[in-house]
A and B are shown apart, each in its own frame.
Chain A
């Protein structure tokens, strides 16, 4: 589906398209005639498929169910506002340079979809392939890096090794003095990686899904999963019972809570992951830079804030806060590598609840309950997977069978032991 130049054409389902011309036209009427990006319908009594969770993954799933599989009687139920979970609070790093083949498979699938997303959704998600650079700070890390780079290359994914001098050129604010505690000894970059405007991803999918008839129902919290025998029959919500033939749960940090409504247990811990932004400043870093050894990563948004993140907090919590030492550690590391940030100021800190799996890989799976599917466990790094995850999850729900990309991520792996352990291998999982 290609964008159209004249901006007059409708979206697939009939909503009018966004374009510079539409903008100019609406300017003449003082922007009073814009349509709703998506409707706010009342829930119907029954749907073919209900997606629980209106984050990026859930909305993308609904969109692909409608656009690829032609299922139109779909609802996305969201307990708060769409994109209000981790989709709306992540540091937006997108890359596909993972070590294991299975991971490379799904993240690269996603990255390809990112590359056409704004056009497909007719919503500028500001996907920006500014490159994601990962640093190595010791001989050991250089070797680990080599391993990853080779694997990524042989998987047919772009990846370039960089010397400290090249890194300095690309990221002038980095301290490449070899005498510092964690000297920059090298790095590798995925140039196709980058960032996107996280909120826009939720909105874009919501608008496009709505356009195809998907009901997006906000302020609707799922409180129970209805089953008959071993089969799902619907959901209980704070707005009443809604029947469904199939239910796909995509609730990230709350997956354990929803699973227990169906009598299931997941191998997932919900932990706070924190991030923060500085005040906006004039552009000073154009690449996303991650560093394992010092546990921090940085990028600069299109508005000018420096966006910082670090590792996950140590204890389970649903409070979306997290502990201050994590922030102190992250910022000390930031100053160590980027001395100029010392005099800048933290504008806002926040936390999200991430769903971490023992092997740091996601779950895209059928469950012991017929017609009930889970997509979760993306932990600290699922934003980048949003389109790919939605795409294969829709496929799983539609066909009741995982495709080749999704198959390795089944729940069964915890029983068989065929884990996809991205811990030891990948380190920072963003």
Chain B
């Protein structure tokens, strides 16, 4: 047992046959499997674990569970390093590396501890009162403050581990696997209900594992736990999840849990997650989360060696380690006497029991006295000696009302103080569920009151503190929950349980010291954030009287422990200053997570390539193989341009753009949204949704349509084709597809349910290849025998079915370039084949693949808008000069009435125009702003912005479109686009630049 000099020979549930080596701050130690880092350090006599946030006071271990505020650890190194872990929850494994935090250069000599020297300058909220003058210096002060911020460190780079999520459903979810939770699970499980039982620790049994003085059905409690767990494991519908903290209780019985799947193994086996986020929907929830012990607030109660009494018992009984050789117990209740007995039993010496109660009687007190332990009744600890570890305490008698001390101080040597200030039921989840708390005067604690979701609380978290009662209540509520979830069964008979009987407590929220509060030594309330009783009182004095103000002004309860050990003490002290009831002061809001939860677990596998889908067309692989550059358009990847070797962006685009107008170009247009619309009222429906007229579109004919929102602003556009009687094929913008379909459904279902029409998305049903340019007809004719391509037989805005390269196809003669153009739709599986056939057939015509950039230039040459580029949700059709598509005759369509407001036609609106730069080679940046009156310096009044701007090789100059104030009346004006480094002079024109007569459409 090398070095483990504080290991108790015959106690604990650790596996002594499995020694484990670990390091703390670089020094190597040994513990056993089953130890936490805290218990293993205690076994090795290490008590100085960390430094506090503000004063850098030396700190040790306060607790034995997840409420620990002090013993925070940086675990592991490199990218697996993790800050702020509680030593009390880390299960040790071979090779574990732990380090203390928030100290420099080392834990024992921490320079930051000078703060402690100047502590009187740093009361609660001091920073609000200073650093204001001179103003410019605040940034420097802040730099220093920031430098001191934080506890541990983030790892340097990407997390190598894997996280999973799982959805679960339960008839009954039971949180907490102590006696109450196990009992509830047994009862619920027996009914055949689907039960999930979760506990945040590595072992079932909860507080039972820490006790040596009670029995269940005549058995040691651990035995009863083992048998119960075995029984539960045999039930097929019961799921037991260890190391799983239920972190959040959300609406409608939705809870989250964080399971630490392989943290305790050191490294996760391949493909096994490190942690798993459970998302549980439960018909009923039974909370059995136990209770947390409260510290006592006395002078220098933060010294290493001051520990919660129940934690001491846990270390002794569960881990077989002695947190001190000589203990002073400081308490306001009987439970700490069990600790005294446990210590004695483990050959630890109890130097004295200091009890604030005026007279202490009962079986536990008798037992303690029988061992010869001195009990100081009506006494308090008034000072603690020893900075890095307790060496002795001074004890004095309390005065009549407990606010001062009398008599002389007695000094007692000790290396451990085990304190107990009573119990706070763990009502966090109950309160998160929006249940109302009530104050229990006898316990001096908040307990669950009215629930607002389908839940029950049992055991210590319900204020039911006795073992027998907890078991009985657990069984009852477990069975009840299962019944309410629709299963039949009764609660099994409760086992017989015995434990020492306990009396009441005396809530004494501050133990007076020798001097007035705040003058000598510190009474800590919130250990991690260094909030003292004096700070709480100061805040109240300064008018921060709401408990929420108190929290925010002093930072009480805002540390990584979220005030599990401090909040009730703080608000009790506040209520005392305010001379108000504790329940009237109330608690701060309990928020998820119950204990801090790993960000990676919320993320799960939604990282890297699974972060978000990337959508690709069936022709994408050709583009990739042929050197295309891509751009993201919504979720889609689209070919942006196809550079040839050595070409610049501009060269490639110029080449593609010219190729289309001179010969023929080919574009993958598959991403366009497509909606199949059928039904006798389809035309009527389109007529209401689009701004133009739709009632008379013949079969085989296409029409361009514009959709507005009800506020009159442009929402989407596209070509819709009548492909049969009462049958239409609508196209939408790539980004708008999903929205448009929902839009149609919404109007149909909620406004015009009487219209007979159906919509179905068919976007990916079709691969769409657009072939554009004067030679496109010739290319197509080579591949297609069953369609007459003559301008008469196949006019602009017509659709025909035929066979292209042997593939059944729909051909649409529509054009986004102003050139002769066909959009060929084939079943998606043939998309690539079609593309390749067209490329082959087009060879002799120099067919040129092009991407979205060239498409944009070509349409801009013709002045066609792109929704989302020329529009941004604030642009109406009149602004775009598209009055021609807004029907004056139709009585109504979506957005019509809004267009009739005066503001919609105001001459002052931003209207679409063309801009020509003075120097034809200058290409304006998109997003540049246009001004009329140039000033040497901003600010200057802006007229609007450049929406589209390109070099047009077909025009031999740059072209641009812009939305500018009163633009329609400005044609011919000279304006300016002031850029960072120069001003560009522009002339306002029509937003059309090429083929103004529209002569090219027939090829």
Which one of A15-23, A246-254, A386-394 is at the interface?
A15-23
- Residues of A within 8 Å of B542, CB to CB, are 34-37
Which one of A90-98, A234-242, A335-343 is at the interface?
A335-343
Min CB gap A305→B, angstroms? 8
CA distance A282 to B163 in the complex (A): 24
Q: Which of B81, B127, B151, B591 contacts A280, CB < 8 Å?
A: B151
Q: Which of B154, B633, B711 contacts A340, CB < 8 Å?
A: B154
Q: Which of A127, A146, A350 contacts B928, CB < 8 Å?
A: A146
Q: Is the CB of B132 within 8 A of A124?
A: yes
Minimal Cβ-Cβ distance residue in A for B613? A181
- Residues of A within 8 Å of B154, CB to CB, are 173, 281-282, 284, 340-341, 343-344
Q: Is the CB of B597 within 8 A of A321?
A: no
Contact with B along A254-295 (1 / 0, CB 8 A): 000000000000000000000000111111101000000000
Minimal Cβ-Cβ distance residue in B for A320? B589
CA distance A185 to B818 in the complex (A): 33
CA distance A39 to B121 in the complex (A): 25
Interface residues of B in 532-547 (CB under 8 A from A): 534, 538, 541-546
- Residues of A within 8 Å of B3, CB to CB, are none
Q: Does B117 contact A (CB under 8 A)?
A: no
* From A39, A116, A147, A323, residue with most partner B Cβ within 10 Å: A147
Q: Is the CB of B599 within 8 A of A346?
A: yes
Q: Is the CB of A423 within 8 A of B926?
A: no
Minimal Cβ-Cβ distance residue in B for A419? B874
Contact with A along B568-601 (1 / 0, CB 8 A): 0000000000000000000001011100111110
In the complex with contacts A150-B929, A416-B903, A417-B712, A345-B598 CB distance below 8 A: yes
In the complex with contacts A328-B602, A342-B599, A424-B874, A30-B142 CB distance below 8 A: no
In the complex with contacts A282-B149, A350-B591, A128-B142 CB distance below 8 A: yes
Which one of A61-69, A197-205, A372-380, A403-411 is at the interface?
A197-205
- Residues of A within 8 Å of B159, CB to CB, are 335, 339-340, 342-343
Q: In the complex, how many residue pairs between chain A and chain B have their CB atoms under 8 Å apart?
A: 326
Q: Is the CB of B151 within 8 A of A155?
A: no
Contact with A along B117-130 (1 / 0, CB 8 A): 00011010011111
Min CB gap B635→A, angstroms? 10
Q: Is the CB of A138 within 8 A of B632?
A: yes
- Residues of B within 8 Å of A425, CB to CB, are 872-874
Q: Is the CB of B603 within 8 A of A342?
A: yes
- Residues of A within 8 Å of B874, CB to CB, are 419, 421, 424-425
Q: How many residues of B contact A (CB 8 A)?
A: 114
Interface residues of B in 635-682 (CB under 8 A from A): 640
Interface residues of B in 277-322 (CB under 8 A from A): 279
* From B121, B158, B538, B602, residue with most partner A Cβ within 10 Å: B602
CA distance A424 to B869 in the complex (A): 11
Min CB gap A107→B, angstroms? 14
- Residues of B within 8 Å of A35, CB to CB, are 542
Q: Does A176 contact B (CB under 8 A)?
A: no
Interface residues of B in 407-443 (CB under 8 A from A): 434
CA distance A341 to B153 in the complex (A): 11
Q: How many residues of A contact B (CB 8 A)?
A: 111
CA distance A22 to B945 in the complex (A): 54
- Residues of A within 8 Å of B142, CB to CB, are 126, 128, 302
Q: Is the CB of A30 within 8 A of B518?
A: yes
Q: Is the CB of A80 within 8 A of B519?
A: no
Q: Does B109 contact A (CB under 8 A)?
A: no
- Residues of B within 8 Å of A150, CB to CB, are 925, 927-929, 945, 979
- Residues of A within 8 Å of B549, CB to CB, are 81, 83
Q: Is the CB of B135 within 8 A of A116?
A: yes
- Residues of A within 8 Å of B163, CB to CB, are 342
- Residues of A within 8 Å of B931, CB to CB, are 154
- Residues of A within 8 Å of B712, CB to CB, are 417
- Residues of B within 8 Å of A166, CB to CB, are none
CA distance A155 to B945 in the complex (A): 13
- Residues of B within 8 Å of A218, CB to CB, are 546
Q: Does B902 contact A (CB under 8 A)?
A: yes
Min CB gap B601→A, angstroms? 9
Min CB gap B939→A, angstroms? 3
- Residues of B within 8 Å of A349, CB to CB, are 248, 591-593
Q: Which of B79, B84, B552 contacts A345, CB < 8 Å?
A: B84
Minimal Cβ-Cβ distance residue in B for A204? B128
Q: Is the CB of A332 within 8 A of B82?
A: no
Q: Which of A31, A281, A347 contacts B150, CB < 8 Å?
A: A281
Q: Is the CB of A339 within 8 A of B927?
A: no
Minimal Cβ-Cβ distance residue in A for B551? A199
Q: Which of A36, A127, A181, A303 contacts B614, CB < 8 Å?
A: A181
Interface pairs A-B: 10 shortest CB-CB: A304-B150, A146-B927, A147-B927, A424-B873, A156-B939, A342-B159, A345-B596, A18-B129, A424-B872, A81-B546
Supplied contacts A146-B927, A416-B901, 16 more A-B pairs, CB within 8 Å? A3-B133, A19-B132, A24-B121, A36-B541, A124-B127, A139-B640, A143-B869, A203-B553, A282-B152, A301-B149, A324-B248, A332-B604, A339-B157, A345-B596, A346-B599, A417-B902
24 contacts between A and B (CB under 8 A): A18-B128, A20-B131, A26-B123, A30-B518, A31-B534, A38-B543, A124-B131, A126-B142, A153-B938, A154-B940, A181-B611, A199-B552, A280-B53, A280-B149, A331-B599, A332-B602, A335-B599, A340-B155, A342-B158, A345-B598, A346-B598, A347-B560, A349-B592, A417-B898
